[in-house]
Amino acid sequence: MSERENEVFGGVPAWLLAEYLVDLGGQRSGNEAVHGDGWSATLQQAVRPPGSLNIGRVTVTIEGPKAGELMRRLREKAQRGGG
């Protein structure tokens, strides 16, 4: 049975989230996908209106038997401390 996890990340650009997924054992497949051994992830950047001051948001969807564990590790990598 395959798991599926979705998470919306704010303030972290899609290219950086993709790099984090590569660090977790994946390989880039185009601009919006990363694939690893038994899992795949897609990254979808929210479209913002011109002149918008909204913080960018990226939806990451991970599918595969270890989607939950991989998403947990991605959340840890994407945490940023203030200062």
With helix as H, strand as E and coil as C, how does the chain read? CCEEEEEEEECCCHHHHHHHHHHCCCEECCCCEEEECCEEEEEEECCCCCCCCCCCEEEEEEEECCHHHHHHHHHHHHCCCCC
Q: What is the pTM of this model?
A: 0.85
Note the pLDDT of residue 52. Answer: 59
- Is 47 within the bounds of a domain? yes
Residue 23 in any domain: the answer is: yes
| Mean pLDDT to the nearest integer, 63-73 | 95
Domain count along the chain = 1
Task: Please report whether residue 60 resides in a domain.
Answer: yes
Note the pLDDT of residue 51: 64
Output the six-digit token pair for 71.
Answer: 């998403």
Domain span at 26: 3-78
Helices 14-23 and 67-78 pack at an angle, to 10 degrees, of 120
Percent of the chain with pLDDT over 70: 83
Does residue 20 lie within any of the structural domains?
A: yes
CATH code where residue 30 lies: 3.30.1370.80
Asked, for residue 16, whether it belongs to a domain, the answer is yes
Asked whether residue 37 is domain-assigned, the answer is: yes
**For position 53, what pLDDT does the model report?**
62
Q: Is the residue at 27 inside a domain?
A: yes
Is 83 part of any domain?
no
